Structure 1
Amino acid sequence: MAKVLITGIAGGFGKPTALALMARGHEVAGSVRSRAGQNAETVAELEAAGAQIVEMDVTDTASTEAGVAEAIDALGGLQVLFNNAGIGSYGIQELMAPEDMARVFDVNVTGVQRVMRSALPHLRAQGRGTVLYTSSLIGRIATPFYGTYSASKWALEAIVECYRTELSGFGIESCIIEPGAMPTAFFDGLVTPSDPDREAGYGDFAQVPTMSAAGLAQMLDATPAQRPERIAEAVLALLDMPHGQKPFRTVVDHTGVGPEIERYNDVLHDVTRTVLTNFGIERMLDLNA
């Protein structure tokens, strides 16, 4: 059984994944920005189930370093890191202020980098580890009104491509999980633009994002298989696979989009291996199936 750290453990994917892991005998620690407020009930439930909870803000380097160290101490080690903390955004791209974009990237991209820099010395020293990342189907393609969020997940996918190769020689495997849209609290905390002057310039089109969001909600209501528990199942399935034999990308989707993203991923996999082979460094891909 593994010792697992989940960032954003109180979120829509973090909680069911933590509970599923502990039910299978894994030891779990998880981070929240604050134990109080809206997280209090979830934190209490997770602790009652056996999780170790640490307060950690992935947008703050000192907080992240302290939180990861506390989690490793609480677990007595670390084998699996699940970079799950994230924030969403939604709205017409021009209306998104640069400061709003920076906030999304600070959590979804730079936040992951802070966590990795805090955890990797431990994983490298032991010569083995598994790192999971929550990306998105729209970390592979871009859809209207999700430009900032998609950009952050595209950036995440890029740095994970590099981590995959650069860490393989240290026995650290990398796995990206790409969910489709899920009915979680993610939609309650979206960063949205607030620029009424520019919005007026879009006329009636300014109402389209709201209508589109309503349509997505209806689709999710009509797709009961599309639930956060599918992420927990994917994580369990990955951890059941032998070290070094896990797929680099795992699509989790029941809306019909998933197969197209898998086709895209297969092509990119072949292109990546061909390019690295041309440079004589294809062995850096061997730690994933």
Structure 2
Amino acid sequence: MRKKVVVVTGASSGFGKLTVLELARRGHSVVATMLDVEGKSRPVRSELIEAAKAEGHALQVLEMDVSDDASVTLAIDQVIAQHGKIDVLVNNAGLMPIGVTEAYTTADVERLFAVNVFGAIRTDRAVLPHMRAAGSGLLVQVTSLMGRFTIPFFGIYCASKFALEALAETYRYELSSFGIDSVIVEPGPFPSNLISASPQPSDAGVLASYGEVAAIPGQIKANSDQSFDPANPPRPQRVADAIAKLVDATERRPLRTVVMAEGLDYGVEQINAAVAPIQNGILKSMGMEHLI
């Protein structure tokens, strides 16, 4: 198996943290990126480096704010200067707002999309010239089951993940002739800090007008952990393992990989299977069958 240079965004916690450790464990040259590496994220930076070192692997941590063009460019330039290439980009950084959709202002939604959507576009655009020059590469976009269906009070989160799904699939077609693969990982519900860190909607007036309905998002957040069996909680490591499997793959990768906790099935595999022939049929009708 060829060892690869892999950049992972949002690596300070959750899926990102587990993914960088798993990839380092498999011998890849991993660059974990996160916010505030000299401040709030300093402890996790040390933890990641020490954990990898204890197993005899190297792991690098760099500052990157995916919502800032200059920060993304600087980090990617550093990786290229040191390693000469980037084989894989894992776009994992993201936020999960839970609230009354109408109460999120335009500015609220722009802040979310700056990370969940434009953040991926920024990092993709930063690495793709290097991948095209090399004639190979892999983009992994971490979306969600809620990139394929919607749940009340997760409206703008779903919108951001739907957008990321469309972006990733379009890359799949447009980049294939350059030897670059674009794939999507769709995690189901796993324990994480996303719900507890949910950005609140700013329009208090709209919230007040919703009466008792406005309390539902708070109830969702308060009860989020109670849906998991404490004796056998879902293992987020399954997501890291799925990403690592895609990175290691030598044959053609599937466009979408659904990652669920054991025993759960929300039907997204069926959605993907039902939509694929329709999507492929559209491309065939437009004379683009060679891009499938």
Per-residue Cα deviation, 1:167-189 (whole angstroms, up to 9, x for no partner): 00000011100001221122232
Q: What pairs up with 1:118-137 in 2 under 5 angstroms? A: 118-137=126-145
Deviation at 1:76, TM superposition (A): 3.6
Task: Please say if residues 30 and 71 of structure 1, whose CA atoms lie closer than 8 Å, have aligned partners that are also in contact.
Answer: no
Task: Please say if residues 94 and 116 of structure 2, whose CA atoms lie closer than 8 Å, have aligned partners that are also in contact.
Answer: yes
Per the normalisation by structure 2, the TM-score is 0.92
Whole-angstrom distance in 2 between the partners of 1:74 and 1:89: 36
Match of 2:40 among 16, 34, 38: 38
Q: How many residues align?
A: 284
- Structure 1 equivalent of residue 281 of structure 2: 274
Deviation at 1:72, TM superposition (A): 2.6
Per-residue Cα deviation, 1:111-170 (whole angstroms, up to 9, x for no partner): 111111110000000101111011000011110110011000101111111111110000
Whole-angstrom distance in 2 between the partners of 1:255 and 1:173: 28
Deviation at 1:225, TM superposition (A): 4.8
Match of 2:62 among 54, 75, 90: 54
Is 1:172 paired with 2:180? yes
Q: What pairs up with 1:1-289 in 2 under 5 angstroms? A: 1-48=3-50, 49=52, 50-222=58-230, 224-243=232-251, 245-254=252-261, 258=265, 260-285=267-292
Unaligned runs of 5+ in 2: 53-57
Task: Please say if residues 190 and 261 of structure 2, whose CA atoms lie closer than 8 Å, have aligned partners that are also in contact.
Answer: no
Whole-angstrom distance in 1 between the partners of 2:262 and 2:198: 21
Deviation at 1:44, TM superposition (A): 0.7
Do the aligned partners of residues 278 and 28 (structure 1) sit closer, same or farther apart at CA in structure 2, a change above 3 Å counting?
same
Do the aligned partners of residues 194 and 221 (structure 1) sit closer, same or farther apart at CA in structure 2, a change above 3 Å counting?
farther
Do the aligned partners of residues 38 and 220 (structure 1) sit closer, same or farther apart at CA in structure 2, a change above 3 Å counting?
farther
Per-residue Cα deviation, 1:93-118 (whole angstroms, up to 9, x for no partner): 11111111100011111111111111
Deviation at 1:223, TM superposition (A): 7.7
Task: Please say if residues 52 and 74 of structure 1, whose CA atoms lie closer than 8 Å, have aligned partners that are also in contact.
Answer: no
Do the aligned partners of residues 222 and 265 (structure 1) sit closer, same or farther apart at CA in structure 2, a change above 3 Å counting?
farther
Q: Classify the secondary structure of the residue corresponding to 1:28.
A: strand
Deviation at 1:259, TM superposition (A): 5.0
Whole-angstrom distance in 2 between the partners of 1:38 and 1:189: 15
Whole-angstrom distance in 2 between the partners of 1:28 and 1:203: 48
Deviation at 1:211, TM superposition (A): 1.7
Q: Classify the secondary structure of the residue corresponding to 1:4.
A: strand
Deviation at 1:83, TM superposition (A): 0.9
Task: Please say if residues 4 and 82 of structure 1, whose CA atoms lie closer than 8 Å, have aligned partners that are also in contact.
Answer: yes
Task: Please say if residues 180 and 253 of structure 1, whose CA atoms lie closer than 8 Å, have aligned partners that are also in contact.
Answer: yes
Deviation at 1:226, TM superposition (A): 2.0
Deviation at 1:222, TM superposition (A): 4.3
Whole-angstrom distance in 1 between the partners of 2:218 and 2:64: 33
> Percent of pairs identical after alignment?
39
Q: CA RMSD in A?
A: 1.7
Whole-angstrom distance in 2 between the partners of 1:161 and 1:240: 20
